[in-house]
Amino acid sequence: MKKLFGIIAAAVLMSFWLAPGAPALAKDSSDDLVVFGGDQTVKEGQVVHGDLVVLGGNADVYGQVEGDAVCIGGHIYIAPQGAVLGSLVSLGGSIDNESTTAPHARRASPTPMPEPTEQPEVAPATPVPVPMHVHRHMGSSFWQHWTSFIVMDALFVLLAFLLFPLRTRSTIDHLIEYPLMAAVVGFFSPVIFVLMAVALCITVIGIPLLPLLAIVAFLGYLVGKAALAAIIGDRLFQVAKAEPPKPVVGMLVGLLILVVISTTGWLGVVFYWVIMALALGAALYAMTRTAQIHRQARMAAAPGPPPPPAAAGFAPPVGPAPTGPPAVP
């Protein structure tokens, strides 16, 4: 079981270096078969003496896998004549097991029915049901694109953390101090940005600023998600009572957790949009508070108006100097 978790951790870490549309890369190390960025089919009669690991694709087993079958961002299909002797693990997909071979047999081989003695009546033609694995392939393309999108999103978040460290630090401080306010602002952030876009369109001269508003919203989301990932990583090290790592290491640990959760099916999709709203709210609230603090600092440092001149009092007129002869002693 420890070997299985090691394979999953290594596969998830390698997902950070994959890009959408990358060609499939297969690696056969010893007896293990590892495939990155594509589908893998174990043909009938083929035997994989180790583990089968597929990242960013589907795994179809028509032969035999003597180890574990692990699929990250895809689905596992085991044909009736196929067999996987180890564990079955799928992150971001499903497992369609039709194997009739132990230990993961879903059903026993069908018992042949006795032939009827009388010719049965011909029933009206009914639509032939589509096999389950055909339905599985219909949705596999979406999950492949979703996994690639999540990986690229994580790379952009890492880039924003490296390019804007001060802004990220400010967002972390405000998010820790006012988490409820950040959540409320994030919930209403779509409405806020729509109102800002409408206001720019009404002024006509503000229409060229719409792309700038979109860029600001995108950068705010990246910085806010980097702050969330850093907080999650720091809290994880605190719970483990480990020595605090470098900021980028804690952020990478938290970002890896967000990536893994975001690729766990439809629940991961909902989780991704919740994180997006919270990240936008944290960044928007941090920018608003920072601008308010700077404005107050400028007002306090600005010189005040000069004091008004003192009111002049009444002074009696001075009489003429005496012009007579000097007094005789």
Give the residue extent of every domain in the chain: 2-12+25-97, 140-296
Q: pLDDT band for position 167 (50/70/90)?
A: confident
Q: pLDDT band for position 3 (50/70/90)?
A: low
User: Range with the lowest mean pLDDT among 32-36, 70-74, 99-103, 166-170?
Assistant: 99-103
Please, are residues 28 and 46 in contact by the beta-carbon 8 Å criterion?
A: no
The helix or strand, by DSSP H or E, that contains position 236, with its residue range, turns out to be helix 210-239
Share of the chain above pLDDT 90, in %: 12
Nearest to 163 by CA among 78, 234, 222: 222
pLDDT of residue 194: 81
Per-residue pLDDT reduced to its tens digit, 145-156:
888 999 999 999
Nearest to 175 by CA among 281, 101, 88: 281
Mean pLDDT of 319-323: 58
Beta bridge partners of 70: 53, 89
User: Range with the lowest mean pLDDT among 188-202, 231-245, 263-277?
Assistant: 188-202
Tell me the C-alpha distance between 173 and 186, whole Å. 16
User: Range with the lowest mean pLDDT among 18-32, 91-105, 249-263, 271-285?
Assistant: 18-32
Q: pLDDT band for position 255 (50/70/90)?
A: very high
pLDDT of residue 25: 44
Mean pLDDT of 5-22: 45
pLDDT of residue 22: 40
Q: When comparing pLDDT for 296 and 58, which is higher?
A: 58
Please, are residues 69 and 48 in contact by the beta-carbon 8 Å criterion?
A: no
Mean pLDDT of 293-307: 68
**Strand order from edge to edge, sheet including 88-91:** 25-29, 32-36, 52-55, 69-72, 88-91
Please, are residues 200 and 194 in contact by the beta-carbon 8 Å criterion?
A: no
Does the predicted model carry a pTM greater than 0.75?
A: no
Q: How many CA atoms lie within 13 A of 103 on its CB side?
A: 7
pLDDT of residue 159: 93
User: Range with the lowest mean pLDDT among 247-251, 285-289, 323-327?
Assistant: 323-327
> From the centroid of its chain, how far is CA 46?
38
